[in-house]
Amino acid sequence: MARLFSPRPPPSEDLFYETYYSLSQQYPLLLLLLVIVLVGLLALLAVAWASGRELASDPGFLTTMLCGLGGFSLLLSLASREQRLQRWTRPLSGLVWAALLALGLGFLFTGGVVSAWDQVSFFLFVIFTVYAMLPLGMRDAAAAGLASSLSHLLVLGLYLGLQPDSQPALLPQLAANAVLFLCGNVAGAYHKALMERALRATFREALSSLHSRRRLDTEKKHQEHLLLSILPAYLAREMKAEIMARLQAGQGSRPESTNNFHSLYVKRHQGVSVLYADIVGFTRLASECSPKELVLMLNELFGKFDQIAKEHECMRIKILGDCYYCVSGLPLSLPDHAINCVRMGLDMCRAIRKLRAATGVDINMRVGVHSGSVLCGVIGLQKWQYDVWSHDVTLANHMEASGVPGRVHITGATLALLAGAYAVEDAAMEHGDPYLRELGEPTYLVIDPRAEEEDEKGTAGRLLSSLEGPKMRPSLLMTRYLESWGAAKPFAHLSHVESPVSTSTPLPEKALSSFSPQWSLDRSRTPRGLDDELDTGDAKFFQVIEQLNSQKQWKQSEDFNPWTLYFREKEMEKEYRLSALPAFKYYAACTFLVFFSNFIIQMLVTNRPPALTITYSITFLLFFLLLFVCFSEHLTKCVLKGPKMLHWLPTLSVLVATRPGLRVALGTATILLVFSMAITSLVFLPAASNCPFRAPNVSFTASNLSWELPGSLPLISVPYSVHCCVLGFLSCSLFLHMSFELKLLLLLLWLAACCSLFLHSHAWLSDCLIARLYLGALDSRPGVLKEPKLMGAISFFIFFFTLLVLARQNEYYCRLDFLWKKKLRQEQEETETMENLTRLLLENVLPAHVAPQFIGQNRRNEDLYHQSYECVCVLFASVPDFKEFYSESSINHEGLECLRLLNEIIADFDELLSKPKFSGVEKIKTICSTYMAATGLNATSGQDAQQDAEQSCSHLGTMVEFAVALGSKLDVINKHSFNNFRLRVGLNHGPVVAGVIGAQKPQYDIWGNTVNVASRMESTGVLGKIQVTEETACALQSLGYTCYSRGIIKVKGKGQLCTYFLNTDLTRTGPPSATLG
């Protein structure tokens, strides 16, 4: 028992549970136990005084009572201080147990003659409460329970064994006591084991719930960052609501609208400025770069531009190759939007000048700015990219294309908004593009006021190129310089969001290191500064632990009624009462143990009358039938080997576990059986009888009188009937999940029955036993606890209130366990939904094979994602007629209805991607009415080079079929919209570099000569036809497609190229004149 008093610290992993367990469950029970004991002692004094006993005549009893009152009052004052309890839980529990044991031993030897049945009920109370109400571990509780049992048996065995043979047979009584104590230990250990299991499950579910909440918060932050990295906040909320609706309705489904149109997320904004910027000379430089260098260079350049945009309140819209464009005045209107764009353009030119001066690389920046109004938003179903459309956007684009390298080219509209903030000069229009000449409006070049200052500083910044030497490649030199800019990596912000994806339930490390057992979980009592030391996760952890404290059951709660403990939500209350209970069979089995103990006790202390034997035989049969029903599922193998007519028997246990009405009926019947059999031996006796030991001629010399009454009932069976009734009380507490009101009803019924039996109808049996024990002392009266009827009544009331407290506690924790399980399920479902949403969002930004690089347990943001491919087929498909179709007037809401049609076109194109045969097609982006896609991007790097040409480029056929499907989709749209749009397609295949760039709005893109040529194939193509290069035509012919030569055409940037038109008949044969629809 020395372990009981050793305040060893628990392991760190169990520290929170043990502290929580002692505080929330055992701490209030310990206080209530001490209160019950004190009230019981006061009740004993009151009963002794009310019965006319002179307390002064029994100094031993009075001393024991006063010492008990003083000792337990002191223990109550110590236990009422939480901090002291937390530090000395085990020693204090040991003291309470020792005090109870000492009190029981004191009662044994005071108040009258010592008998073998003395204080058995009190020791049974000590044994049961050691398990159920003291904050001890199972081993310590078992040791204390067994020690209590042995102390009673050994003390009485040794003491009575030395007495004259004036007592009835001692051995059967000691055996009955041993059975009672054994039953008390088993019932207590069973109760403690189930409660600890339930409490630990609740605790783990609470931690799992906390873990789920963190994951949920993390996923919400991921979604917010992902959405805001694609879309402005106002648009993100609207689109997120639709995605959630799609997830709830089933992934991939789209809510049907009344007008059969796809949702359009486009709004008109006036008073904005649009900036287009292009890096002059970058194409030649990129051709010299390795894939890693190219992606790094682009990320650093555009990352720097994003920083400049943020400084000047501009929003980057999109990156098109080496073209960068942004808008100021979105989503909120800004009065200085024109000045913001001009400042940004000047800073971009300045950054490129510094780059050129430091590296000697011949690149420059060309910027165009125009002010007006735009339509902004998102079109299509996949690969969302926030974009802007309007004639003003087109004009800004042409302003960049016709601009001067190193200068900011602005229109008159922008100049008017500058209000003299910058000096300008007229732009020479003789070299301008046709679009601007057709408009006939003057344009201007902004004079950078800091350009002269930079020129005066000379070439001091060329140190890097001179130090590195002339042998270094310009691309490598430029990459090294750009690394010094320190642009953020794509999705770098996600690495700062905690993502606890482990399936375990880790405890907060800071809380583990800082939490001490002597601290109360009451945050009002925590040491000053603790809130500052604990992070938000730890604070939430403490809040969750506080919610588990059983003292909360008496306070107002959002979930429970503090008086009835019913759930405030009627549906949840109904669900709780209808929930399955697989453990019911174990309740019934343990109740059978109580019944069997009563049977053994009555067989030991009675003469086993035939009526009692018959009654027990019938009851045993009923119990075995009940146990068979409860455990029938464990007999499945045996039953299935028998007749088919018995194969239904295993389903009985399932019915019992899942049918609440059947459980309540069987549980009530089981308890009533135990109740009835506890008093069966008394039922066969008359309600009143003449006691032979009360006759006037009976003296103390008649020591040979029998201990039996008429009817062959030994007198010693009377107190043991009281003890059997106490076991009946315990049987009611074994049904942990039985409702509190039903337990209260059964306990009240049993209390009334027992008190009526022993204090009224059969009280004469107790008087007769006292008369037999005190034959020669007619004037003396035994103490209160030596009189069976009074001892029994006091025991009944003490057990009644004790078990009532435990029933309330059990009810609370059963409901709390159900509540946390329900919360955990809801949070897990919500977390799963959020994770799916995050996955959908990320895959809407990145290809499915790239997305895992940026999210999940293996997320790595240290390196930029880049991949080189040997054979990728790139498609550009445009609807050139849409430019003529687009107009801005009040009739079409300033172009909004035109964009609605474009949204239908792009959305229908996107729907093709969900078809299995096009699973290898990856949408890259849309550029106004041009659709860009690629195949071959899901192949492993270097894999294509190891395969033969036909096998490595087999995906070209998929792209051709996809192009034809796009044409078919457009035909359907033409039919419904009464238009005559035609598709112009360009295809090319070859090596490309893929990567993710941009920290503010991460964007997946592909670069390389293959992409540039594919774009030229579209722009120089013919409506209704697919134009391909000579190399791609050869590859397609090897796959069975037919191509015919168009001839040699001039391609910008590529010179003279021989191109081919593809025969689009899917039979792969047909006349050369076959065209797209």
The residue among 772, 877, 895 whose CA lies nearest residue 270 is 895
| β-bridge partners, 995 | 866, 1005
For residue 971, which amino acid is it?
Answer: D
Contact present, 239 and 385 (Cβ < 8 Å): no
- Scanning 385-444, the segments in alpha helix (DSSP H) are 391-401, 412-418, 434-439
1068: alpha, beta or left, given left = phi > 0 and alpha = psi -120 to 50?
left
Q: Is the dihedral of CA 519, 522, 526, 529 positive or negative?
A: positive
For residue 1005, which amino acid is it?
Answer: D
Which tokens sit at 892?
């079409």
Contact present, 461 and 357 (Cβ < 8 Å): yes
The residue among 444, 438, 440, 436 whose CA lies nearest residue 415 is 444
Active site residues: 1016, 1052
For residue 475, which amino acid is it?
Answer: S
Q: Is residue 211 classed exposed, middle or buried when 0-12, 13-18 and 19+ CB atoms within 10 A define those classes?
A: buried
Contact present, 157 and 107 (Cβ < 8 Å): no
Q: Is residue 513 classed exposed, middle or buried when 0-12, 13-18 and 19+ CB atoms within 10 A define those classes?
A: exposed
Rounded to whole angstroms, the Cα distance separating 502 from 486 reads 32
Q: Is residue 1035 classed exposed, middle or buried when 0-12, 13-18 and 19+ CB atoms within 10 A define those classes?
A: buried
Rounded to whole angstroms, the Cα distance separating 1037 from 1060 reads 11
The residue among 674, 860, 874, 693 whose CA lies nearest residue 775 is 693
Helix axes 740-756, 717-733, angle to 10 degrees: 170
Rounded to whole angstroms, the Cα distance separating 207 from 225 reads 27
Q: Which helix (H) or strand (E) holds 987?
A: strand 984-997
Q: Which residue has the tokens 């800091």?
A: 450
Q: Which residues contact residue 806 at a Cβ distance below 8 angstroms, ignoring those fewer than 6 apart?
A: 29, 132, 133, 191, 733
Contact present, 155 and 108 (Cβ < 8 Å): yes
Helix (H, G, I), strand (E, B) or coil at 866: strand
Which tokens sit at 287?
């051709």
Strand 984-997 versus strand 364-378 pairing type = unpaired
Rounded to whole angstroms, the Cα distance separating 339 from 328 reads 9
Which tokens sit at 631?
């455990």
Q: Which residue has the tokens 């009334």?
A: 752
The residue among 1037, 1028, 1016 whose CA lies nearest residue 1061 is 1028
Helix (H, G, I), strand (E, B) or coil at 924: strand
Helix (H, G, I), strand (E, B) or coil at 895: coil
Q: What single-letter DSSP state applies at residue 118?
A: T
Please spell the DSSP secondary structure of 693-753, one letter per residue: GG-TT--TT-TT--SEETTTEETTHHHHHHHHHHHHHHHHHT-TTS-HHHHHHHHHHHHHH
| β-bridge partners, 875 | 933, 987
Rounded to whole angstroms, the Cα distance separating 931 from 969 reads 13
Q: How many helices (H) and strands (E) does the chain have?
A: 38, 18
1021 φ/ψ angles, rounded to the nearest 5 degrees: -80, -170
